[in-house]
Copies of this chain bind each other. A is one copy, B any other.
Amino acid sequence: MEEIKKYVEENKERFLNELFELIRIPSISSLSEHKPDMYRCAEQWTKIMLAAGADRAEVYETDGNPVAYGEKIVDPALPTVLVYGHMDVMPVDPIDLWNTKPFEPVIKDGRIWARGADDDKGQAFMHAKAFEYLVKSGKLNCNVKFMIEGEEEIGSPNLPKFCKEHKDMLKADVILVSDTSMIAPDVPSITTGLRGLAYWQVEVTGPNADLHSGIFGGAVANPINVLCKMIAEMQDEKGHITIPGFYDDVLEVSAEERAKMAKAPFNLEDYKKSLDIKEVKGEEGFSTNERTGIRPTFDVCGIWGGYTGEGAKTVLPSKAYAKISCRLVPNQKHEKIAKLFKEYFESIAPDYVKVKVEYLHGGPSYVCPIDLPAYAAAEKAYEEVYGKQPVPVRSGGSIPIIATFEEVLGIKSVLMGFGLGSDAIHSPNENYPLEQFYNGITTIPLFYKYFGEIMKK
Point out residues on A near B: beta carbons under 8 Å: 30-32, 90-91, 93-94, 97, 153-155, 181, 195, 197, 199, 201, 206-222, 224-225, 227-229, 231-233, 235, 275-283, 288-289, 291-292, 295-317, 320-323, 325, 327, 350-353, 360-361, 395-398, 421, 424-429
Which residues from B are CB-within-8-Å of A181?
A: 215
CB closest chain-B residue, reference A397: B214
Given A277-B221, A306-B301, A317-B302 in contact, is the A215-B312 Cβ separation under 8 Å? no
**Chain B residues with CB under 8 A of A396:** 214-219
Specify which chain B residues have a CB less than 8 angstroms from the CB of A197 in the assembled complex.
214, 314
26 contacts between A and B (CB under 8 A): A30-B310, A31-B309, A93-B307, A208-B277, A209-B429, A210-B426, A213-B297, A213-B301, A214-B396, A214-B397, A217-B325, A218-B327, A219-B281, A221-B280, A224-B231, A224-B302, A224-B322, A225-B235, A231-B232, A232-B232, A232-B233, A302-B305, A302-B313, A304-B304, A307-B323, A315-B427
- Choose among B91, B222, B233 the residue that contacts A299 (Cβ–Cβ < 8 A): B222
* Max count, chain B CB within 10 A of own CB: residue among A216, A231, A233, A304: A216
A303 touches B302 (CB 8 A): no
In the complex formed, the residue of B with least CB distance to A329 is B218
- The chain B residue with its CB closest to the CB of A205 is B276
Return A155 CB to nearest CB of chain B, in Å.
Answer: 7
Query: Which B residues are in CB contact (< 8 Å) with A303?
Result: 224, 228, 303-306, 308, 320
Contact B323–A211 (Cβ < 8 Å): no
